[in-house]
Amino acid sequence: MTEDGTVTFEVTAFSRPATWLARATGPLGRAVQYRITTRYLQALAEP
């Protein structure tokens, strides 16, 4: 946290599909994961 109250952080994440079903989704599964992550980050950015 900076003196003006701004909070900055960095998230690094790695994932591997754990089940055959997750592996079977391929690019679609990655797209869904990306969308969910984007929504989390948008929620953090809202005042």
Q: What is the pLDDT of residues 1-47, one digit of tens each?
A: 889 988 888 888 888 888 999 889 989 988 998 999 899 889 888 77
Residue 46 to residue 13: CA distance in whole angstroms: 22
Q: How many CA atoms lie within 13 A of 30 on its CB side?
A: 7
The per-residue pLDDT for 39 is 93
The per-residue pLDDT for 24 is 93
Name residue 29's amino acid: G
Number of compact structural domains in the chain: 1
Q: What is the pTM of this model?
A: 0.58
The per-residue pLDDT for 12 is 86
Residue with tokens 């998230």: 11
The per-residue pLDDT for 11 is 80
Which residues fall within 8 angstroms of residue 23, CB to CB, at 6 or more apart? 17
For residue 11 the two structure tokens come to 């998230």
